[in-house]
Structure 1
Amino acid sequence: MRDRTNPPQGTEAPREPYGVGPAYPSSHTQFTDDAPGRYAGSPAPEDTAPSGPTPAPPASPAPPLAQAPVAEDPYYTPSAEFTVAEGLRDVGMVFVGASMTAGYGDPKGLGWVGRVVARTQHPDLDLTAYNLGVRGNTSGDVVARWGAECHPRWKGRTERRLVLSVGTNDVLSGMTMARSRLNLANVLDEATNAGIGVFVVGLTPTLDDDLNRRIEALAEAQADVCARRGITYVDCYRPLATHDQWMADLAASPDRSHPGQAGYGLIAWLVLHNGWNDWLSLS
C-alpha cells in the first residue's frame, strides 16, 4: 500500500489530494486517459478534535457535521482473505447507496452504476450485478440493511463484491462526522471479515457552497477510513467540484441536486479509471 500525505489543516493552505484517484487541476474541464496514476493511503495518525464545533448557519435546515468525535473507528483486524479463482469467475456484485447509486434523474435510467457494469464485461468474468440504491438513505440505513439485502444476492456466487457509495444524506440529516465514519468503518470491516471485496465511491459536489464544505470534509474522512483498511476509495469530489459539465448538468436538472446523463457519465469515468480493473483483477 502506498503512502499518502495527510491533508494540511486549515482552509487557506492548498491541500494534497486524498483517497484513490487522480487530482485534477481547477482548469480541468474534460477527463482524459492520461490522468495521473492512482495513489492509496496508509494509516494516518489519530484524529485530533478541533477546539470547538462549528455552529450551523441560522437559516440552514440541517446543521453541519459535528467535528468532535464521539467514538473511535474500530481497530481493523481482518479475519478473512479475499481470493480470486482461476478461470471463469462467477461474480456477484452489489451496489449499495442512496439516490446517486440508484441513478435518480438519469433519463436513460443507467446512472453511473449501469454505465460501469456495461464496461465491466470480460471473457473471464461471469458477472451478476444488483443495484440496491435507495433514495434518502444515510450510512446508518446502509448499516442496517446491507447484510440482509446483499447476502441473498450473493448466494451461489463464488466471488462476492460490494460497491458502496453513501454519505450526502448524512450531511443533510445532521449526522455527526464521527458517527458517519464509524458507520462506514463498520460496513467495511464486516464485509472484509466475511471475505467480501469492497470498493468505495466517494461523494460528489453540489451547487451549494456551504453544503460542499461539509461534503468535502466528509469525503476526506471517508478516504481516511478506507486508507486505514487498504480499501480503494475513488475521489469524486475534487475532480467534479470545478468541472463545468458537472455543474451545468446539476443546474439543468429539475431538482438541481442530481445530474443527468452527462453527470452520471463523469462519475462512471472516474470509477472505471481509478482502480476498478485492478480491484477486479482484470487485465
Structure 2
Amino acid sequence: MYRRHFIRFSLASLPIGALAASPARPPVLLVVGDSLSAEYGLARGTGWVALLEKKLQEEKNPTKIVNASISGDTTSGGRSRLAALLKTHQPDVVVIELGSNDALRGLPLSMTEDNLTHMTQAAQQAGAKVLLVGMQMPPNYGADYGNRFSTLFEKVAKAQKTALVPFMLKGVADQKDALKLFQADRIHPSAAAHPTILANILPTLRPLIK
C-alpha cells in the first residue's frame, strides 16, 4: 500500500509531459568533401549541398544536413578529422566526396584508396550508411592514370558494399562546351552546374535518407 502511494506521488511530481515519449531525433546527413562541396567561389546557398537541403525542406524531409567540406582537402585530411565528426554529429548517412585534390597533387592512388576505405569502414562502424562520390581526371593526366583513378571509387564501394555515384561532374565536365559551366579557374564548377551535380547525386542518395 505504501509502495503504491509512493509510486503515485512520484509520478504526480513529474513535470507535465515527462511521461510522453521523447521526440525522435531527426536523421543526420554528414557531407565530408572538398571545394566541390564547400561552395568555393560561389554565393552561399548555390552549391549542391545547399540545394539538397532546400529540396529536402520542400519535401518535408526532416533530415539535418551537416556540411563539413573544406576547400583543398584531401582524403588524408578527411580521414584525420572524420572520427571527431562522427562523434560530434552521430550521422545516419555519410557522403564522402574526396579524392580530386589527391590526384591534382600527384599523391599515390594506393594511399587514396586506403584512405577512402578507412573512412567508409569508420562511418559504417559508427552505424552510418555511406555514399562515395567518384570523380574523373582530365585527359591531360594520361589515360592509364585517369582510368585507375576513376575505378578506385568503384573498387572501394564494391569491397565495402556501399553506394556509389561514379562521376560527380557527369553532364558538366564531359560537355563539348564545358567551360561555360566552370568558373574562371576552369577547375571549379559555376553555380549553373550545381543543379546538375545534385541531379547526379540525388537518385543514389535518396534511398539512404528516406
Per-residue deviation, 1:237: 5.6
Correspondence list, 1:253-264, <5 A: 253-264=183-194
Equivalent in 185, 195, 204 of residue 265 of structure 1: 195
For residues 117 and 204 of structure 1, the distance between their equivalents in structure 2, rounded to whole angstroms, comes to 26
Residue 151 in structure 1 maps to residue 101 in structure 2 = no
Q: Which has the larger radius of gyration?
A: 2
For residues 49 and 80 of structure 2, the distance between their equivalents in structure 1, rounded to whole angstroms, comes to 22
For residues 261 and 98 of structure 1, the distance between their equivalents in structure 2, rounded to whole angstroms, comes to 16
Superposition CA RMSD, Å: 2.4
Equivalent in 173, 186, 208 of residue 118 of structure 2: 186
SS of 1:117's equivalent in the other structure is helix
Q: Which residue of 2 aligns with 1:126?
A: 62
Higher helix share: 2
User: Are the counterparts in 2 of residues 203 and 215 from structure 1 also a CA contact under 8 Å?
Assistant: no
For residues 42 and 142 of structure 2, the distance between their equivalents in structure 1, rounded to whole angstroms, comes to 22
Where does the alignment leave 5 or more consecutive residues of structure 2 unmatched?
Answer: 1-22
For residues 135 and 166 of structure 1, the distance between their equivalents in structure 2, rounded to whole angstroms, comes to 10
Q: Which residue of 2 aligns with 1:102?
A: 38
User: Are the counterparts in 2 of residues 102 and 133 from structure 1 also a CA contact under 8 Å?
Assistant: yes
Q: Which residue of 1 aligns with 2:97?
A: 165
CA gap of 1:109–1:244, structure 2 versus 1, over 3 A, is farther
Equivalent in 157, 162, 168 of residue 226 of structure 1: 157
CA gap of 1:164–1:176, structure 2 versus 1, over 3 A, is same
Per-residue deviation, 1:219: 2.0
Residue 279 in structure 1 maps to residue 208 in structure 2 = yes
For residues 56 and 32 of structure 2, the distance between their equivalents in structure 1, rounded to whole angstroms, comes to 17
CA gap of 1:97–1:238, structure 2 versus 1, over 3 A, is closer
User: Are the counterparts in 2 of residues 245 and 263 from structure 1 also a CA contact under 8 Å?
Assistant: no
Where does the alignment leave 5 or more consecutive residues of structure 1 unmatched?
Answer: 1-86
Per-residue deviation, 1:200: 1.4
Q: After superposition, what is the alpha-carbon deviation per residue over 1:72-119, rounded to whole angstroms, capped at 9, x for unaligned? A: xxxxxxxxxxxxxxx966211111011111021223543111112222
TM score, norm. by length of structure 2 = 0.78
Q: Which residue of 2 aligns with 1:211?
A: 141
Q: Which has the higher contact order (CA 8 A, sep 6+)?
A: 1
Moved beyond 4 Å, runs of 4+: none
Q: After superposition, what is the alpha-carbon deviation per residue over 1:205-237, rounded to whole angstroms, capped at 9, x for unaligned? A: 5xx422374455312111111012221110226
TM score, norm. by length of structure 1 = 0.59
User: Are the counterparts in 2 of residues 107 and 260 from structure 1 also a CA contact under 8 Å?
Assistant: no
For residues 112 and 152 of structure 1, the distance between their equivalents in structure 2, rounded to whole angstroms, comes to 23
Q: Which residue of 2 aligns with 1:111?
A: 47
User: Are the counterparts in 1 of residues 168 and 201 from structure 2 also a CA contact under 8 Å?
Assistant: no
For residues 127 and 170 of structure 1, the distance between their equivalents in structure 2, rounded to whole angstroms, comes to 30
SS of 1:256's equivalent in the other structure is coil
For residues 221 and 243 of structure 1, the distance between their equivalents in structure 2, rounded to whole angstroms, comes to 23
For residues 88 and 169 of structure 2, the distance between their equivalents in structure 1, rounded to whole angstroms, comes to 35
Give the share of equivalent positions with the same residue, in percent.
22
Equivalent in 155, 164, 170 of residue 239 of structure 1: 170
For residues 196 and 190 of structure 1, the distance between their equivalents in structure 2, rounded to whole angstroms, comes to 9
CA gap of 1:107–1:224, structure 2 versus 1, over 3 A, is same
User: Are the counterparts in 1 of residues 38 and 70 from structure 2 also a CA contact under 8 Å?
Assistant: yes
Q: Which amino acid aligns with 2:196?
A: L
